Amino acid sequence: MQAATHEILDIEAIRRDFPILDQRVHGKELVYFDNAATTQKPLSVIHALTQYYEGYNANIHRGIHFLAEKATAAFEATRVAIQQFINAAHVEEVIFTYGTTDSINLVAQSYGRKFLGEGDEIIITAMEHHSNIVPWQMLCEEKGCVLKVIPVDDKGDLILEEYEKLLSERTKLVSVVYVSNALGTINPVKTIIDKAHEFGAKVMLDGAQASSHLDIDVQALDCDFFAFSAHKIYGPTGMGALYGKSEVLNAMNPYRGGGEMIKEVTFEKTTYNDIPYKFEAGTPNIADVVATQNALEYINTLGKSSIAAHEHALLEYATEAMESIEGLKIIGKANEKISVISFVMDGIHHQDIGVILDQLGIAVRTGHHCTQPLMRRYGIAGTTRASFAVYNTKEEIDRLVQGIHRVRKMML
């Protein structure tokens, strides 16, 4: 259910904040429906990048000159903004990474290699992105752990009864996607977390898709780790964050070695820095970290509830329209989902759908969406995926529906 107190957004005004949308592709006005892959960037984010490089480009933390101090202050202000965005208890629980994938690998290497051993079990779901499968497989190969999978039903919901059967005293880590990038399913992560904690297991959430659509409160969720990427929330690419409970992060070893993550280095022994810095070796992606604060400010200004209400209206409108198209089947009809529609069409390959829609100026995603095991679960090679953001409109959905009818006419 959407909150009843949200404000109605001025979508045309919002669209003017995103200059990339004002262009023609193959002679047609651009319709951008690939937001689950990456969102477009508002002018405030673009200007923040330019202002950093034009005005105060410098390395951070160790410099004592004016530019270094200004860059450091802007860099650390983003850490505070992220703390508030996800409601972390302490600012030092926010670690800057290169994105969700990097964050998951950090936990696999820094936590998994130290605390997991032969026979220990890791639980994931059948709808995971490859970035939340492969790092755990690598850890299992190295440490002798066992990977277990929560199945998904025909609608796209996790089968929680089967999850409960997988849990045992051998369960050491549960790592699940909060929102599926391929199905749009919003998973009941609070229930998953609580049940895992009953067995003493730590829980990691892949929040890549959830972070732009849902209010995030890591304290209320009680997750041990939470990862997300800036480019999914109207921010720059190559920038993300990992939240971890301070007591867990303090017990972990660093992921990488180098500058910044140390207190003292001798040839005999190195002592590590405090969190979060012991996980931030080397010169970071300073400009993109700084600009991420502007992305968070943009979301906060619009209001998460208003964004969610608009996107939900688009989802309902598109679902009704697309279900009326002969031969089209939506993959993923969970009761709780975000604004993602993945579909297949009888007798037409998903790549052909994407190519024809592109010629009509409509950008969608085709393929397995880095969820090959999930595609196999549904007996398909891939889908066409349309994913909506705050700047999208019902008129654009009408163009998508018209485009799909054009595909059917051309291909059948």
- What phi and psi values does residue 149 have, to the nearest 5 degrees? -130, 125
Could you give the 3-state DSSP secondary structure of residue 90? coil
Q: How many whole angstroms separate alpha carbon 131 and alpha carbon 370?
A: 8
CB distance 239 to 229 below 8 Å: yes
Encode 141-200 in three state secondary structure.
HHHCCEEEEECECCCCCECHHHHHHHCCCCEEEEEEECECCCCCEECCHHHHHHHHHHCC
- What phi and psi values does residue 179 have, to the nearest 5 degrees? -135, 130
Catalytic residue among 140, 145, 223, 370: 370
Q: How many whole angstroms separate alpha carbon 41 and alpha carbon 215?
A: 20
Q: Among 240, 36, 39, 204, which Cα is nearest to 132's?
A: 204
Q: How many whole angstroms separate alpha carbon 395 and alpha carbon 328?
A: 20
State the sign of the Cα–Cα–Cα–Cα dihedral 42, 43, 46, 48. negative
Report how far apart, in Å, the C-alpha atoms of 79 and of each of 56, 67, 301, 302, 309 are.
18, 19, 18, 21, 28
Q: Among 285, 226, 196, 274, which Cα is nearest to 87's?
A: 226
Kind of pairing between the strands at 94-97 and 240-244: antiparallel
Q: Among 240, 232, 323, 246, which Cα is nearest to 278's?
A: 246
Instruction: Identify any residues that bridge with 328 across adjacent strands, giving them in sequence order.
Output: 345
Q: Is 370 a catalytic residue?
A: yes
* Catalytic residue positions, numbered: 370
